Structure 1
Amino acid sequence: MSNKVVGDTELQSDVLEDLRAAVNYRRWLCSLGMPYFGDNLLEIGSGMGYYASDWADMGVKLTASEADPARLAGLYERFENDPRVSVRELAVPIDETADYSAVVAYNVLEHIPDQIDALKAFSGLLRPGGAVVLVVPAFEFAMSKFDLEIGHQRRYTKASMAEALTSAGLEIERCQYINALGLFAWYGAVKLLNRRPQESPMLTLYDKVYIPVERRIESKIRPPFGQSVFAVARAR
Structure 2
Amino acid sequence: MPQRLSLDPTTFAWLLRLQGPSLGLWRAAEIAVLRQCEYPRPILDLGCGDGLVSAMVLEQIDAGIDPDPKALEKASQMGLYRHLENSFVEASSLPEGHFGSIISNSVLEHIPNLEPVLVKARKLLRPGGRLVFTVPTEQFAESLTFPSRRYSSWRNRQLCHLNLWSESRWRDALEKAGFELGTIKPYLQRRLVFYWDLLELLQQARLARRRLFGIAWRRLPPRMIHSLASRISRLDLSAPAPGGGRLIVAHKAS
- Give your verdict on TM over 0.5: yes
Match of 1:115 in 2: 114
Structure-1 residue corresponding to 2:82: 86
Distance 1:208 1:159, change over 3 A: farther
Structure-2 residue corresponding to 1:14 = none
The answer (yes or no) to whether the contact 2:174–2:250 under 8 Å persists in 1 is: yes
Q: Give the % identical residues.
A: 20
Matches within 5 A, 1:1-236: 18=19, 24-32=28-36, 34-35=37-38, 37-57=39-59, 60-79=60-79, 85-92=81-88, 94-95=90-91, 96=93, 97-139=96-138, 142=141, 143-180=152-189, 181-186=191-196, 196=204, 200=217, 208-215=230-237, 218=238, 223-236=240-253
- Residue 65 of structure 1, CA deviation: 2.5
User: In structure 2, how many angstroms separate the alpha carbons of the residues matched to 1:205 and 1:153?
Assistant: 37
Structure 1 residue 196, shift from structure 2 partner: 4.9
- Shift of residue 211, structure 1, vs aligned partner: 4.8
| Gapped regions of structure 2 (runs ≥ 5) | 1-17, 142-151, 206-212
Equivalent residue pairs, number: 205
Select between 137-146 and 170-179 the one with higher mean Cα deviation. Answer: 137-146
Q: Secondary structure at the match of 2:235?
A: helix
Aligned Cα root-mean-square deviation (Å) = 3.3
Contact kept? 2:30, 2:105, Cα under 8 Å: no
In the TM superposition, what is the alpha-carbon distance from 1:89 to its structure 2 partner?
1.4
Contact 1:108 1:136 in 2 (8 A): yes
TM-score by length of 2: 0.67
Q: Give the distance between the partners of 1:61 and 1:141, measured in 2 at CA.
A: 30
Regions of 4+ moved over 6 Å: 203-206
Q: SS where residue 131 of structure 1 aligns? A: strand
Structure 1 gap ranges (5+): 1-16
Give me the TM-score of the superposition, normalised by structure 1.
0.71
8 Å Cα contact 2:44/2:99 also seen in 1: yes
Would the aligned equivalents of 1:103 and 1:122 in 2 still touch at CA under 8 Å?
yes
Choose 1 or 2 for highest CA Rg: 2
